[in-house]
Amino acid sequence: MADRYPLSWPRGWKRTKAHERQKASFQTHRTIEQRREDGSVRRDVNKKPVSVADALHRLLDQLRWLGVQEGDCVISTNVPTRLNGLPYSAAREPEDPGAAVYFRLKKQDRVLACDAWTRVADNLTAIAQHIDALRRIDRYGVGTLDQAFAGYTALPAKGETWRTTLGFSLDETINAEMVEKAFRSRARTAHPDTPGGSHDAMASLTAARAEALSALGASS
């Protein structure tokens, strides 16, 4: 489907420029209760910015309410993953805080992505909030989820295949080792830290590698 790490940005989705990203106001609220000597209870609300762990909890809950289980989705970011495939919560904030979630809903591959905010946790939370908003369509009876998700199909860009992205001809016989070699070679110029490289180019290359290995029956 897509790589969990690094970020596999969906093809055709516009990127937010770094200087246009904003700070979000997503927070967690925890109530702390203290019982006074007279028996009354004092309640204090502790507010703090949402963490990656909190954001993942919200996102996975929203996906479950859609009918998508954790094993049927890929959450992709530039945060290294734990053994369970989910991003570390205490990792350093990456330069590119974008987030994407790939999942299958009613036999259709779907994707939602966000990079409008300066933190990975906020972009994950924004996706969760967006799913919640889409689910309301079904509840209000005005439209359907199928209609709401019609524009979020996870498809490769028109006229482009993993073969062309990795530099192979359409009739060339290849194997997984050749895919990895082509990926490493092209990553040297596609990586955003190199002159002429960009996040879009690296995301496209990463997606092509995942598609190639899937087509060859190899794991990424």
The pLDDT assigned to 73 comes to 92
Q: How far apart are CA 70 and CA 72, in angstroms?
A: 5
Which residues are within 8 A (CB) of 43 and not within 5 positions of it... i.e. 6 or more apart?
31, 32, 33
Quickly tell me which residue has 């502790």 as its tokens: 46
Contact between 44 and 32 under an 8 Å Cβ cutoff? The reply is yes
178 and 74, same domain (yes or no)? no
Q: Which of 155, 186, 211 is the last residue of a domain?
A: 155
Q: Which of 109, 126, 155 is the last residue of a domain?
A: 155
32 and 107, same domain (yes or no)? yes
Contact between 74 and 81 under an 8 Å Cβ cutoff? The reply is no
164 and 106, same domain (yes or no)? no
pLDDT means per 10 residues in the chain (220 residues)? 84 87 87 76 78 96 92 92 88 94 87 96 97 86 78 59 81 89 91 79 83 77
179 and 78, same domain (yes or no)? no
CATH code assigned at 196: 1.10.287.110
Report residue 205 as tokens.
Answer: 């290359």
Domain count, the chain: 2
145 and 180, same domain (yes or no)? no
119 and 208, same domain (yes or no)? no
164 and 145, same domain (yes or no)? no
61 and 109, same domain (yes or no)? yes
The pLDDT assigned to 129 comes to 96
With 0.85 as the threshold, say if the pTM is over it: no
R_g of the chain computed on alpha carbons? 20
The pLDDT assigned to 42 comes to 73
Sign for the CA dihedral angle at 153, 164, 187, 219 comes to positive
148 and 136, same domain (yes or no)? yes
The pLDDT assigned to 1 comes to 57
Q: How far apart are CA 17 and CA 96, in angstroms?
A: 10
Q: DSSP letters of 58-97?
A: HHHHHHHHHT--GGGEEEEESSPB-TTSSBPSSSPPPS--
Report in angstroms the alpha-carbon separations of 2 from 7, 108, 146, 214.
Answer: 9, 15, 22, 10
25 and 70, same domain (yes or no)? yes
Q: Which domain holds residue 183?
A: 158-220
148 and 189, same domain (yes or no)? no
